[in-house]
């Protein structure tokens, strides 16, 4: 095994990462860290790593969506895995060992044991031809294949949504889409239409909150000449415009109570009566509605008729917010960059920029992400999305630990004199490492000793040597 190993750390405790990085770099290893499972997964897929440190907590928290151990064993079966385990996570560490982990180290890490475990893990590694080192500064953006009429995402929540769309689309059932603003409700409505037996018919959409009550009724049902001031001729409404196809009613909760009976009649009787008309007109329309509000709460307040709600909510679909599917951010970024950049050239994204995107909660969801990336495309140079091209609030939202994670670290000890004994070199490393830990805890020897896993008396002795 080469004396300089390539080591990846997946751990969200910034203090622990900085200490472990310092120790490993003092042993002349090259280290990269990831505080998010998504970033760790991306780095595991690039180049070859000689050793993988993985937080037991981080691994278990995303086990159902991103099994980092399985990913490492699949992509790099020769790479040993060391689990970083908290006091109450011993059973999880044992589970990880049964799934192929090489060893488990309990926090706070003990320096000598950590060094010994790293050496044993690297010595156990099967020799492999060297592959190119990962690009630590940036990574390529994927070119995702859209699902269901342009929907992007591989998160389990999205895969479940695709399956539900495939089941609901061929039916004539009314579908109610519920999700926050910007989650893509109209895209889902179009997917339902395009995969239905009505795909050859029209798809008509309206935002019910965009018009006042008197205009909304006329817009939906139409009116006859003279029905009200300004009605100079007959007008067909959107129900007739959507005849034989699908009518998408966005923000259905904004429908005034005075209009809800007319809408209910259209759903039940499949006929409408234009404003001012004496006769009803039959219509053949499938209704898909959507809301970002809690409609049951509106129903409880008397703002939405119970019978109308149940007619609309025959097949409910929930759209997950972007903060629940952050593993899709790279895919979405790749999609939007190619959408707004017409050069056709491949794009990359800097690691700090990717981490800033992942760390943000995205209250505006996919729409907010698209707007950010459209701007970033215009400001970035050389087909690489840089952190400075993102909106300022995204740059400021980066956690403080990012500064320590991206700051170039200086080695704890100078390159060893080849005439030194191993014991002397390890003692030199130990002194530097103790100094780093003391600096981290602002000179608090009790906290430093606890972190080092030694007694206070031992720490005093070692600092006096």
CATH of the domain at 231: 3.40.50.300
CB 27 within 8 A of CB 60: no
Neighbouring-strand partners of residue 175? 288, 315
Q: 130 and 232: one domain?
A: no
> Tokens at residue 186, please?
């109209």
Q: Is residue 331 scored above 70 in pLDDT? A: yes
Q: Which of 292, 319, 346 finishes a domain?
A: 319
Q: 338 and 280: one domain?
A: no
Question: Is residue 215 assigned to a domain?
Answer: yes
Q: Which of 287, 319, 351 finishes a domain?
A: 319
Q: 13 and 38: one domain?
A: yes
Q: 315 and 166: one domain?
A: yes
Return the top range by mean pLDDT from 182-196, 266-280, 391-405: 182-196
Q: 15 and 78: one domain?
A: yes
> Tokens at residue 239, please?
């129900």
Residue 203 phi, psi (nearest 5): -115, 115
> Tokens at residue 345, please?
């050239």
Q: Is residue 410 scored above 80 in pLDDT? A: no
Cα(40)–Cα(144) distance, integer angstroms: 20
The pLDDT value recorded for residue 399 is 46
- Determine the structural domain holding residue 189 and report its residue range: 156-319
Which helix (H) or strand (E) is 80 found in, with range? none
Question: Is residue 461 assigned to a domain?
Answer: no
Q: 197 and 305: one domain?
A: yes
Q: Is residue 271 scored above 60 in pLDDT? A: yes
Question: pTM for this structure?
Answer: 0.59
Number of separate domains in the chain: 3
Question: Is residue 298 assigned to a domain?
Answer: yes
Can you give the CATH number for the domain in which 90 is found? 3.40.50.2300
Q: Which residues of 225-238 are buried (b: 16+ CB within 10 A; e: fewer)?
A: eebeeeeeeebebb
The pLDDT value recorded for residue 99 is 78
**Could you tell me where the beta strands, DSSP code E, fall in 24-132?**
30-34, 51-55, 81-85, 103-106
Q: Which of 319, 348, 369 finishes a domain?
A: 319
Q: Say which residue the tokens 């129900």 belong to.
A: 239
Question: Is residue 417 assigned to a domain?
Answer: no
Angle between the N-to-C axes of helices 213-221 and 257-269, in degrees from 0 to 180, rounded to the nearest 10: 10
**Could you tell me where the beta strands, DSSP code E, fall in 2-152?**
6-10, 30-34, 51-55, 81-85, 103-106, 138-140
Can you give the CATH number for the domain in which 398 is found? 1.10.8.60
Q: 362 vs 92, 299, 321, 329, CA distance in Å?
A: 31, 29, 8, 11
pLDDT in tens, 95-137: 788 778 888 898 888 888 899 889 988 887 644 443 443 444 5
For the chain, the distance separating the N- and C-terminal CA atoms, rounded to the nearest angstrom, is 33
What CA dihedral angle connects 390, 395, 398 and 402, to 10 degrees?
Answer: 100
Cα(245)–Cα(319) distance, integer angstroms: 23
Report H helices in 84-230. Answer: 90-98, 111-124, 156-168, 185-194, 213-221
Q: 8 and 104: one domain?
A: yes
Best CA proximity match to 252, nearest among 301, 287, 226, 277: 287
Q: What percent of the chain has pLDDT over 70?
A: 87
pLDDT in tens, 51-80: 999 998 888 777 666 678 888 888 888 899
Cα(360)–Cα(198) distance, integer angstroms: 39
Mean pLDDT throughout 210-214? 84
């Amino acid at each position: 095994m080469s004396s300089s190993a390539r080591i990846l750390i997946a751990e969200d405790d910034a203090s622990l990462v900085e200490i472990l990085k310092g120790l490993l770099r003092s042993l002349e290893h090259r280290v990269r860290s990831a505080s998010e499972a998504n970033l760790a997964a991306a780095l595991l897929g690039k180049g070859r790593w000689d050793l993988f440190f993985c937080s037991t907590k981080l691994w278990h928290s995303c086990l159902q969506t991103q099994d980092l151990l399985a990913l490492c064993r699949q992509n790099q079966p020769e790479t040993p895995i060391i689990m970083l385990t908290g006091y109450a996570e011993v059973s999880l560490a044992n589970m990880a060992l049964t799934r192929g982990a090489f060893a488990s180290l309990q926090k706070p890490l003990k320096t000598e044991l950590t060094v010994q475990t790293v050496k044993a893990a690297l010595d156990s590694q099967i020799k492999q031809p060297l592959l190119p080192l990962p690009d630590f500064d940036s990574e390529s953006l994927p070119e995702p294949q859209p699902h269901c009429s342009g929907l992007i995402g591989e998160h389990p929540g999205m895969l479940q949504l695709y399956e539900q769309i495939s089941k609901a689309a061929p039916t004539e059932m009314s579908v109610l889409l519920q999700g926050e603003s910007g989650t893509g409700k109209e895209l889902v409505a179009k997917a339902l239409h395009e995969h239905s037996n009505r795909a050859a018919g029209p798809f008509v959409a309206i935002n019910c909150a965009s018009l006042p009550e008197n205009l909304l009724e006329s817009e939906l049902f139409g009116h006859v000449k003279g029905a009200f001031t300004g009605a100079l001729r007959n007008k067909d409404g959107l129900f007739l415009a959507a005849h034989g196809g699908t009518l998408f009613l966005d923000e259905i909760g904004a429908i005034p109570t005075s209009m809800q009976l007319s809408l209910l009649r259209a759903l039940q009787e499949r006929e409408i009566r234009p404003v001012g008309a004496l006769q009803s007109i039959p219509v053949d329309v499938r209704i898909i509605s959507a809301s970002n509000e809690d409609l049951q709460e509106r129903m409880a307040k008397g703002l939405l008729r119970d019978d109308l709600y149940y007619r609309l909510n025959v097949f409910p679909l929930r759209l997950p917010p972007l903060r629940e599917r952050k593993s899709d951010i790279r895919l979405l970024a790749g999609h939007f960059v190619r959408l707004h950049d017409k050069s056709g050239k491949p794009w990359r994204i800097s690691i700090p920029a990717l981490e800033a995107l992942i760390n943000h909660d995205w209250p505006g969801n996919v729409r907010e992400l698209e707007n950010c990336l459209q701007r970033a495309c215009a400001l970035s140079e050389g087909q690489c999305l840089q952190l400075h091209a993102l909106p300022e609030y995204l740059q400021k939202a980066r956690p403080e630990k990012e500064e320590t994670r991206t700051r170039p670290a200086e080695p704890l000890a100078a390159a060893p004199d080849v005439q030194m004994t191993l014991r002397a070199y390890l003692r030199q490393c130990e002194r530097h490492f103790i100094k780093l830990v003391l600096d981290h805890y602002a000179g608090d020897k009790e906290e430093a000793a606890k972190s080092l896993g030694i007694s206070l008396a031992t720490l005093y002795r070692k600092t006096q040597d």
